[in-house]
Structure 1
């Protein structure tokens, strides 16, 4: 077996791990696969005779490619073409939507949203260290920083990821209700959804949600339940998140926040739902991963 064939087989063995790293770095399966292809080309041109930790070496190559892609994305200030969709409730029009949804669910939609809001250096430091246990001493050269500076990057990212619950709230109970809402709407369980809603519940959606000329308001448990089920049936990439410290839902195709739902809960019932899709309002939301 020649050296190139040996390296190709080792790369294939580690492909699952490398794809997981790239996906968390980039938030897109298609971009993650592009990163792996570029990483393979770089690895194939390199000399591996002195490489002692092949998995770590390949991880570093993938991370470097992803870092370059993140920096290029930040410089352009634009989104990948396959994340653009006319309807904010829908995911990407291209690629493999089902695989994207499955991967997003396994990682956590809220985590992908927070990662997307980090700087490229913060994202690399956090993903490699906190999610894949790569030592700071190995990450630092990649970022051209000292290990201590790299540690601080990861620490800042960690605080953003964890966030903090809002005072005077019951995050545990509210999360149960929000997750029950998500389960009922996804499962089209009208009866279960009605039991979560106050009879006089109000749903408010800004104009960007339904692409209307003005915000939309719906009142009453039955009307809200029917509207929520119709919308959530076609919504993808949805999961719980802390929104300004309170448990809500985020819809985020490939990690890009599209829609946020905030809930007002009193005495165990949802009394109000606010649906936000206007980019300016989404940008003001503090998003974190629920504990």
Structure 2
């Protein structure tokens, strides 16, 4: 396999490893090691390259987790998990499976539980394939994921119900599309916290004025956006005029208004977000944009 062919799988592999390990640096190392092992294989000896790479990345991730346990290490990152937000029947599972609080809960799981949960609940991998990765039967893999899910069930919940959160985010998108300054003020809390995470720095702004100005300015430049799930809660993925993702927003909704917005603008997180949508069969275009 050429390096170019491997790149087609790379972001998905990094996304998997990052959620299992909670740290993108370690995830990058694991994926690089998987590439080196693949490069040593005889040409044509691997029938299912995607499956082979997922297996290797999964097993290497388990090795890293076990090494951490032996050393008493816990490493977490804040790369958001992104998924589609257009299937009401799947909302409970997604909200239960995702979120920054989940990282803390994942740290209490055994390596097999953690990998089984991430691969199945976040990346929709069947238990028959997961069992092969953790050297257990499909039923044992299912039980490991179930145990993990019960522990995750106690993770922190947002104060607003999912449909209420979506309504607020949709109202924000509609106001942004129409350039309705007053409507934007209505949906944003006066004491809003807006945190922007770039590749190397983080800026925090209090109040809603700066965000409103940025949204209105973006609309004038031809930016489009639509709702997605970000860490289990409704958020927004935005595209520039050329069709490339330019921003991801995680929105906290309380009492009918956005009280906190975390924006991710660096290319690594945006690439990972798009990769996560693709891995779950999602649409990575700006269809239905506001």
TM-score, scaled to structure 2: 0.48
